[in-house]
Amino acid sequence: MTTHSATAARAGTGGPKPDGPKILEHVLGWTLVVVVAMLVTQLGLL
Q: What is the pTM of this model?
A: 0.53
Alpha-carbon distance of 32 to 35, in angstroms, equals: 5
**Which of 25, 33, 24, 11 is CA-nearest to residue 41?**
33
pLDDT at position 20 is 66
pLDDT at position 5 is 56
pLDDT tens digit string along 1-46?
A: 565 655 555 556 666 666 668 888 999 999 999 999 999 999 988 7
